[in-house]
Chain A
Amino acid sequence: MSLFSSRAHASVKDNPALPAAPSSWQKKTSSGLSPKHQRAAIPPWLINTGSLIIMGLLVLLSLSIGVADFSWSGILHSIINHSANSDSSLLLVSRIPRTIAIILTGIAMAVAGMIIQVVLKNRFVEPSMVGATQSAALGLLIVSLLFPASALIVKMGVATITAMFGMMLFMLLIHRIPPTDFLMIPLIGIVFGGIIEAVTTFIAYQTESLQMLSVWQFGDFSAVLAGRYELLWLTGALCVLAYIIADKLTIVGLGDNIALNLGISKRQVTWLGVGMVAMMSAVVVVTVGMIPFIGLVVPNIVSRLMGDKLRRSLPAVALLGASAVLLCDIIGRSIRYPFEVPVATVFGVVGTVLFLWLLLRAPAEQ
């Protein structure tokens, strides 16, 4: 619970160990909240507009970077003449799909991370730390081996189911861990994910499909073209759904008693959240591969800036997630031009550094 101290006085309310006397409670709220309030004084619309502008700039940059010859004047030309030339077709077939895929992936991973953090009431988890992405890859591998001819949507369905199953197993595992031991859960999650990954690698090794597996285990946008990313729009729809049920998720995140008092079925909302996270991870793994740490770092930064009320913070989470992936993709494309470094590699470095920073400045266990 200590993790939630920075944002919601409601989590303090939730803690039965604290004195319930009104006077002390009042004092606690006012003294504990006012400095935070001043620090978080940047209004949400300003943050959102700012992130939107940053994202717009990054989109323009992302569209103009690439190996093929490309000029904006050529685009202008084709628009004026109403005729397709090489610049516009490049834009339509490769650049725009790629940029959209990046944005959708970033949004999906960041929102999925936020949902799983709220549902598990733990700041330090994300889909790849609860076994979701690894299980999705495992399911994908199995269905590809058993029924290689099945449609993409079937494969994705199987991946979603295995991702959910993996998350359920993980939740069963951590069931007995006290919520105060908030760093134990990501640690177990990392090892759990590693075990699933070892099983997957073992199967792939035995069936000589390591190469196929490496596509899913390693997030990379270089293969994205028109017609090969559209599944990602599904995650956009899921994010809209997340926004619709944002208030319910927030209430469930505040604790069991509060949810009960406010008449929210905790079980239902939790399952919905877990299902959405599983589906988002599965779609991202199927289309571009795993990109770890986005779902961890982005929600943490946003909740530091604007608290944990999901309806308010989800747009910022989505925008910042998209910007983060865009930026890392641009870095990956320009750092060794004309070659490309996969976005997962770049974010592996950036994300771990940010995560270490978060870890080392988090409060100690009580």
Chain B
Amino acid sequence: MFSPSKHRLINDSSTKSGSAAKSVLENGSFENDSHANTSAQSHLTQLWAFIANHPKSIAAIILLISMTLFLTLNVNGYWDFALPLRGKKLLALMVVGYAIGVSTLLFQTLTHNPILTPSLLGFDSLYVLLQSLLVFFLGAMSFTSINPIAKFTLEIVLMFGASLLLFQVLFSKSSQDLTRLILVGVIFGVLFRSLSALIARLINPDDFVVVQSASYAQFNTVNPQLLGISLFICTISAVFIWRWRYQCDVLMLGKSQAINLGINYQHLAFGLLTVIAVLVATATALVGPVTFFGLLVCALTNRIARHMYHSERLIMVSLVAMICLVLGQTVFEQVLGMAGVLSVVIELAGGLVFLILIFMTQRR
């Protein structure tokens, strides 16, 4: 739970001392409150306390249930047809959830700010722009005929270089002025999208189809070729991130504090930015750009999680993101019969969460 004081501490950590920093990581208040209340009260509050104390297991259970629902609802006996198809889609949704959730969380740690996401600052429109540029310069024929692994490697290298540049521009000049930073990032995103649109108009229609398939958020159609690569990338990244989790905890105290406490900041920041770039590229390659999804799941996670430790929140955020996608897709596809709506709904909810977060920061 992001209580106000913690919130601010993440914003301008340079003014806070080490002792205050402890309260960022130890979120005791939530537990204490619920214990005091449950002692004499009904089962409902007891149940709530249990849920509040075991958010990870609860989330895992919900995820399992939604996975089962996703695979089995409305199959009507065509198991051997439905299961592989849905399994692939399920896997893709989970990969995307993991990639977006974790990359946003790490980005927020790196920038010490709970209202930023890589996509808000234009990182995934950058990916779409790179796609368009590649098609523009190589042509659709050679673009589609490159070995997918080579292509993806090339894209990720380009993406990493470009996002390093963008990061430099955004954070060297105006790191003090958060509003300007976000606004500049948002406008960079608009610029990248406009440039992609311009390129899309300049290339011939066959090439345009190739670009367009890369530039829309579609949870329904997932490129199976990319799925294997993405899975591989996610596994590798998970290993790295898990090894960095304690360093990330320290990094949350602020740049200078982290350096004082013996973190190799340059090294860690470089590593984190690489992982973020790779994960953003992966998620965007699979489903296209989504602006606010990462923000939504991170805000949810920060409310639910008991600590600000990365070991807890990284798992939580992956679970929450996967639940949102899998359960949302199940509900919209099987229950409501509206297949393509999920991304719109997520953007809507995420946008509202963003506004709420802004107003919460504003009030202090």
Which residues in A have some Cβ–Cβ distance to B below 8 Å? 124, 173, 176-177, 181, 183-184, 186-188, 190-192, 194-195, 198-199, 201-202, 205-206, 335-336, 339, 341-342, 345-346, 348-349, 352-353, 355-356, 359-360, 362, 364-365
Residue of B nearest to A293 (CB): B190
| Contact of B197 with A by CB under 8 A | yes
Q: From residue B170, how far is it (CB to closest CB) to chain A in Å?
A: 11
Residue of A nearest to B358 (CB): A188
9 closest cross-chain pairs (CB), A and B: A348-B194, A352-B191, A183-B179, A195-B351, A341-B201, A349-B194, A198-B348, A202-B344, A345-B197
| Contact of B198 with A by CB under 8 A | yes
Q: A352 to B197, Cβ gap below 8 A?
A: no
Residues of B within 8 A of A183 (CB): 177, 179-180, 183
Q: From residue B177, how far is it (CB to closest CB) to chain A in Å?
A: 6
Q: From residue B73, how far is it (CB to closest CB) to chain A in Å?
A: 22
Q: A187 to B179, Cβ gap below 8 A?
A: yes
Given A181-B179, A188-B355, A364-B177: 16 more A-B contacts, CB < 8 Å: A176-B362, A176-B363, A186-B183, A187-B182, A187-B358, A191-B358, A198-B347, A201-B344, A202-B344, A202-B345, A345-B201, A348-B197, A349-B195, A352-B187, A352-B191, A359-B184
Dominant SS among interface residues on chain B: helix
Residue of A nearest to B176 (CB): A364
Q: A190 to B186, Cβ gap below 8 A?
A: yes
Q: From residue B139, how far is it (CB to closest CB) to chain A in Å?
A: 16
Q: B183 to A198, Cβ gap below 8 A?
A: no
Q: B179 to A206, Cβ gap below 8 A?
A: no
| Contact of B51 with A by CB under 8 A | no
Q: From residue B293, how far is it (CB to closest CB) to chain A in Å?
A: 13
| Contact of B352 with A by CB under 8 A | yes
Partner of A356, one of B184, B195, B202: B184
Q: A356 to B186, Cβ gap below 8 A?
A: no
Q: A345 to B198, Cβ gap below 8 A?
A: yes
Q: A360 to B179, Cβ gap below 8 A?
A: no
Q: B173 to A365, Cβ gap below 8 A?
A: no
Q: B183 to A194, Cβ gap below 8 A?
A: no
Partner of A353, one of B186, B191, B197: B191
Residues of A within 8 A of B363 (CB): 176
How far does the alpha carbon of A172 sit from the alpha carbon of B348 in the complex, in Å? Answer: 19
* 22 CB-based A-B contacts, threshold 8 Å: A173-B355, A176-B359, A177-B362, A184-B179, A184-B358, A184-B362, A186-B183, A187-B179, A187-B358, A190-B186, A191-B358, A198-B344, A336-B201, A336-B202, A342-B201, A345-B198, A346-B198, A348-B190, A348-B193, A348-B194, A353-B191, A364-B180
Residue of B nearest to A184 (CB): B179
Q: From residue B342, how far is it (CB to closest CB) to chain A in Å?
A: 11
Q: A187 to B348, Cβ gap below 8 A?
A: no
Q: From residue A7, how far is it (CB to closest CB) to chain B in Å?
A: 21
How far does the alpha carbon of A352 sit from the alpha carbon of B293 in the complex, in Å? Answer: 24
How far does the alpha carbon of A139 sit from the alpha carbon of B123 in the complex, in Å? Answer: 32
How far does the alpha carbon of A183 sit from the alpha carbon of B185 in the complex, in Å? Answer: 12
How far does the alpha carbon of A206 sit from the alpha carbon of B336 in the complex, in Å? Answer: 12
Residues of A within 8 A of B195 (CB): 349
Residues of A within 8 A of B344 (CB): 198, 201-202, 205
Residue of A nearest to B352 (CB): A195
Scan B337-360; emit 1 where CB is below 8 A from any A CB, else 0: 010110011011001101100110
Residues of A within 8 A of B190 (CB): 348, 352
Q: A341 to B183, Cβ gap below 8 A?
A: no
How far does the alpha carbon of A353 sit from the alpha carbon of B194 in the complex, in Å? Answer: 11
CB within 8 Å of A: which B291-344 residues: 291, 338, 340-341, 344
| Contact of B188 with A by CB under 8 A | yes
Q: B338 to A206, Cβ gap below 8 A?
A: yes
CB within 8 Å of A: which B186-223 residues: 186-188, 190-191, 193-195, 197-198, 201-202
Q: B341 to A205, Cβ gap below 8 A?
A: yes
How far does the alpha carbon of A201 sit from the alpha carbon of B85 in the complex, in Å? Answer: 28
Q: From residue A206, how far is it (CB to closest CB) to chain B in Å?
A: 7
Partner of A349, one of B182, B191, B347, B352: B191
Q: From residue B245, how far is it (CB to closest CB) to chain A in Å?
A: 31
Q: From residue A196, how far is it (CB to closest CB) to chain B in Å?
A: 10
Using A359-B187, A360-B173 as known contacts, say yes or no to A205 and B201 having CB atoms under 8 A apart.
no
Q: A359 to B183, Cβ gap below 8 A?
A: yes
Q: A202 to B348, Cβ gap below 8 A?
A: yes
Residues of B within 8 A of A201 (CB): 344
Residues of B within 8 A of A349 (CB): 191, 194-195, 198
Q: B351 to A205, Cβ gap below 8 A?
A: no
Partner of A187, one of B183, B291, B347: B183
Q: From residue B337, how far is it (CB to closest CB) to chain A in Å?
A: 11
Using A205-B344, A356-B188, A360-B184 as known contacts, say yes or no to A192 and B355 having CB atoms under 8 A apart.
yes
Best-buried of B173, B198, B291, B352 by chain A (most CB within 10 Å): B198
Residues of B within 8 A of A355 (CB): 187
